[in-house]
Amino acid sequence: MSKVITSKANLDFGIENLAPMETPGCILMVKPTYFSVDYVINPHMEGNVGNVDKEKAMQQWEQVRDALGQSGLTIHELEGASNLPDMVFCANQSLPYVDDDGTREVIMSIMDSDHRKNEVPLIEEWYQEHGYQIHHLNYKKIPRFEGMGDALWHRGKKLLWGGYGFRTSLEAYHFISDTYKVPVIALKLKHPEFYHLDTCFCVLDSKTVLIYPEAFQPKGLNLINTMFERIIEAPKSEALEQFACNATCPDGKHVVIQRGATETNRKLREAGYEVIEVDTGEFLKSGGSVFCMKMMAW
């Protein structure tokens, strides 16, 4: 039976009551060989069609890869496809999971934009090669779900945070909760600029989250405040212009983040994290940064 929580009124557990979950042991990345801005499907792409420096994009991607490599996790690199310029944002096409017995599973996405739908079967091939049990959503009942762009695991716990409203349907989380047998806390997103949960919400460790609070409705903020002991808030300018909340913390210690998020980085360092600043300027033109460019897997 699915357990999808949308308000504090139907929250009947705390972090201490949740079962532990193995943390990811590898990272999947897709090379930006074919990355470009060829169309507009989010506000950040406006004015950037045809405006990507491909050589610089490759250099920036390699910088992100090397920074993530400092976590010690294995990185798997895939080639992209010539007709899929956004495939580099490989957080979006799937939601992997591992159960108590070590069985690896994955739910494949239903992309909101037709431009991106053909990315999903190519990413699915990687999961097939690595022995994952693969699940598909019923597109007749669930029109859209964009993987870990919107669905983020609470570090070390069997709890999923799920954004919805722009790229993912709330109904998707009932299927996910039933399939993985985990509770989902669903957060409705307010602003088109923050169209995925990973643009405004970054789990750093089991007790800490980095957020841009104005991206959420009051019910969502109440849930976030209830479940995390420590909340670090990014200012609007850095959340919007540097994609500060699209950072990633692969090991609970190092935070890889777009450079120039001065106030956010100060707060992170004061909280004890080692900040690794990278330049993802070419990818910001397409509405993505560090978190979008990788998939944490098992």
Q: How far is CA 107 from CA 93, 134, 195, in A?
A: 9, 6, 20
Give me 142's structure tokens.
């669930």
Answer yes or no: is pLDDT of 136 > 90. yes
Which tokens hold the place of 228? 């995390």
Instruction: Considering the candidates 90, 200, 202, 292, report the single residue annotated as catalytic.
Output: 292
d(CA 134, CA 8): 32
Cβ 187 vs Cβ 163: under 8 Å: yes
How would residue 172 be classed by pLDDT, with cut points 50, 70 and 90?
Answer: very high
When pLDDT is averaged across residues 156-173 and rounded to a whole number, the result is 98
Residue 11 confidence (pLDDT) above 80: yes
- Can you give the pLDDT at residue 128? 98
Contact 158, 147 (CB under 8 A): no
Whole-angstrom CA distances from 65 to 3, 111, 131, 279 are 36, 25, 24, 12
pLDDT at residue 168, rounded to an integer: 98
CATH number at residue 62: 3.75.10.10
Query: Domain containing 250: what range?
Result: 4-297
Does 9 have pLDDT greater than 90? yes
Is 135 catalytic? The answer is: no
pLDDT digits (tens, 9 = 90+) for 31-77: 999 999 999 999 999 999 999 999 999 999 999 999 999 999 999 99
Q: Helix %, strand %, coil % for the chain, to 5? A: 35, 25, 45
Is residue 27 a contact partner of residue 75, using CB atoms and an 8 Å limit? yes
Question: What pLDDT sits at residue 263?
Answer: 98
Q: Which residues contact 100 (CB under 8 A, 6 or more apart)?
A: 19
Could you give the strand order of the β-sheet that contains 94-98, starting from the edge strand earlier in sequence? 94-98, 104-108, 133-136
Query: Residue 201: CB partners within 8 Å, gap ≥ 6?
Result: 152, 161, 163, 187, 209, 210, 211, 212, 215, 224, 245
Residue 1, pLDDT above cutoff 80: no
236, pLDDT greater than 90: yes
How many domains in the chain? Answer: 1
pLDDT computed for residue 190 by the predictor: 96
Please state, in angstroms and as integers, the Cα–Cα distance from residue 153 to each residue in 22, 125, 136, 157, following that order.
Answer: 11, 23, 19, 7
Q: How much is the pTM?
A: 0.97
For the chain, give the mean pLDDT.
97
Q: What percent of the chain has pLDDT over 70?
A: 100
Q: How confident is the model at residue 147 (pLDDT cuts 50, 70, 90)?
A: very high
Respond yes or no: is residue 196 known to be catalytic.
Answer: yes
Query: 196, 202, 245, 254: which one is catalytic?
Result: 196
Q: If you average pLDDT over residues 89-115, what whole number do you get?
A: 97
pLDDT at res. 192: 96
Confidence of residue 2 (pLDDT cuts 50, 70, 90): confident
d(CA 91, CA 86): 11
